[in-house]
Structure formats: structure tokens, C-alpha cells
Chains A and B, each alone.
Chain A
Amino acid sequence: MAVTVQTLDTLAPGQKAVVKDLAVEGLERRRLMDLGILPGTVIEPELKSPLGDPTAYLVRGTLIALRREQARHIHVVPLEEEQDEH
């Protein structure tokens, strides 16, 4: 089964995924890394605000709220698929 890379904003609530890449540069990239979001990090959408934006993600034991604009730069692979590959 081929690994499908999708962006974080398209992840269904409760669907765990592994971060593959941060498609941003400079301070925005640094900011995401400071929040604990790096390639290899497990991330999971936990809460959606009433209007669907922002969304709170579970990252390294803490809830981090990201706007859709930020989330769509984060490339992830859903966890089950990654396990299937091995």
C-alpha cells in the first residue's frame, strides 16, 4: 500500500499521524518547531472550534491550536498506513 501524504488540515478528528515535512521557511517554521511540531512527531486532531478553525491538536502531551492556514503547510502520513508499510 502506497503511503499517502496529506496536509494536517485534512486529517479527521482522532486520526493519528506522523509529521513528514514542514512546508514553510523562516520564523513560521521555527515557531512550529518551538511548539513541538517536527518531522517524526505524532500529531492528532483533538478539538475543532465551532467554525472549524482553529483546530486543537495533541502534540507531545499538550494541546496546540493551529489555524487552517498553518496546518495546511504541515505534511503528515496517517499512522496506520505508515505501520502497514513496514
Chain B
Amino acid sequence: MNTDAVMPKAACATCSLAQNARLIKLGIETGGWDYVVALAGNPNTGKSTVFNAVTGLRQHTGNWPGKTVTRAEGGFIYDGKRYKLVDLPGTYSLLSTSVDEEIARDFILFGQPHVTVVVVDATRLERNLNLVLQILEITDRVVVCLNLMDEAERHGIKVDDRALARDLGVPVVPTVARRGEGIPELLAAIAQVASGEYATRPHRIRHLDPEVGQAVERLTREIEKTFKGLPNARWVAMRLLEGDERIIEAVRKHELGELAPAAEMASTMQPALETA
């Protein structure tokens, strides 16, 4: 029997190419977008691999941290909507101590992406969840991409993605980005959060000390008065109370709203196309 003739057809229905039929990769074409999506995560979790899988670009990927030093941008169409995808440098927190972290943080904070995808390493979940929780403090439009599931499996690590999604209050999508596994599901989750079809209920850490809570409330109101239309005024208030030098400086110089354009510039100076 000639099974070769039968096999390709059977494989077609289940392969990721067929499932990706709703996806059109646009490469560096990012004009006229409906939604902006940011890709964040700890260093070396596969952000750029996810980026390439979705945009069709070949942005340099490699197994070392600090590879994506500025933002890279790409585009794709999913279900008829145009998306601009911004690949951010890896960071352990939103507390900026380096230029990389500042770019990532400023974009999530002030670039106001419609969806922030946090790519996490399934083998180092505990470490990665710190950033997830910090991002959930400043935006509720989040999708967690649980990447490197193949490595986790090899290490005998099982991750209950449903329980995680329930606890975090946002979609959690297991992926093996370098093989394209889970990418269709990831795109569907991004589309649902972008359109508001999936209403997230992000896990937020409650402030135990009422005095701190009151101080945050008072400061938030002042910031909202001074910087009209600023998103995340509450987050800015908390950083001020913590003594974050960069934020203090930005408030003092009245340049809070200008942080986003600064991040914008960083990317136009460094075009996304890198020959792999």
C-alpha cells in the first residue's frame, strides 16, 4: 500500500500552516494598524522566536541575553485586522536600571499597546511570574505565552496552564515557538483580548497598609490633575513613593507624557530588519 500518497493530506489538516490560514505575515510592514501588541518577558524566554513566527521576519534570535537591545517592529494580519508587533528587550522587572529595561518599561507604560504579551519560560516559571505580576499592575490587556513547553516536558515539569490562567485572570497559552506550536492559539488569544471579547480580570496585589494606600490615592489624584490623560497614574504614584529616580525626574521636568515619543525614536533609529 502506498501510504505516502495518503499521509500528506492527513497531515495537512492538523499542521500549523493550515491552522495559520487566518494569519498573513507582513514582515516589516506595520502601517495602518488596528492594534499594537507588545512582546515582553524575561531575557532569553523566546520573545524574538515568537516575533519571527508571527511576522515572518528573521530578527536575530540567539541563546544569550541582551540580544534585543532596542525594540524591533513587525506586522501581521489576523482575521482581517492589522497588528503592529513590538519586540521589547528582555527584562526581569519594570524597575529600570538599564537602557534596555527603560525601553521595555516606557513602552508598556506610555506607549499604550492594546495587548501586552508576556513570554515566560515554562522551566523557570517562579522567576518569570515576578514580571507578569508587575505588568498586570499597569495594564489589564495581557496574554501570557507559556513558552519552551518542550524543554519543560524534558525536565519533567508539568504546568497547569488552566489554573495559572484562572489565578492570573488573563489567558495563558502554552507554546513551543521554535516549532510554531501554540502560535495559532496565541494569535486567537491576542485577538480576543485586543477586541475586548475576552474580559481579563488581572490579579492585583492588595495593599495591606492603609496609610500607604491613602498616600497612593492622594498622589494619584495630584498626578492625574497635573498630567491629564496619563494612563497608569496610580503606578506612577507608587514609583514616586518608592523613590524611583527616573520617574521623579520625569515628573519634575514635566516630561512624563514625552517618555513614549522617546521610546518611539529608539525604534526608528534601529530598523527591525536584521539579516540572520
Contact = CB atoms under 8 A, between A and B. Distances in A.
Contacts of A62: 124, 127
Interface stretch (A9-17, A23-31, A73-81): A23-31
Given A26-B243, A27-B242, A27-B243, A34 B92 contact: yes
Contacts of B124: 60-62
Contact of A61 (B92, B93, B123): B123
B127 A60 contact: yes
Considering residues A27, A34, A36, A61, which has the most beta carbons from chain B within 10 angstroms of its beta carbon?
Answer: A34
A35 B242 contact: no
Contact of B127 (A27, A30, A61): A61
Contact of B130 (A26, A27, A34, A61): A34
A47 B242 CA distance: 33
Contacts of A30: 93, 95, 242
A61 B92 CA distance: 14
Interface in A27-52: 27, 30-31, 34-36
A67 B243 CA distance: 23
Contacts of A60: 124, 126-127
A31 B243 contact: no
B123 to A, nearest CB: 7
B130 A36 contact: yes
B268 interface: no
A26 B242 CA distance: 7
Given A30-B95, A31-B97, A36 B127 contact: yes
B245 to A, nearest CB: 8
B244 interface: yes
A32 to B, nearest CB: 11
Given A26-B243, A27-B244, A34 B93 contact: yes
A30 B92 CA distance: 11
A52 to B, nearest CB: 22
A35 B95 contact: no
Contacts of B130: 34, 36
A34 B95 CA distance: 8
A62 B242 CA distance: 27
A30 B235 CA distance: 16
17 contacts: A26-B243, A27-B243, A27-B245, A30-B95, A31-B95, A31-B97, A34-B92, A34-B93, A35-B92, A36-B92, A36-B127, A60-B124, A60-B126, A60-B127, A61-B123, A61-B124, A62-B127
Given A60-B126, A61-B123, A61-B124, 5 more contacts: A27-B245, A30-B95, A60-B124, A60-B127, A61-B127
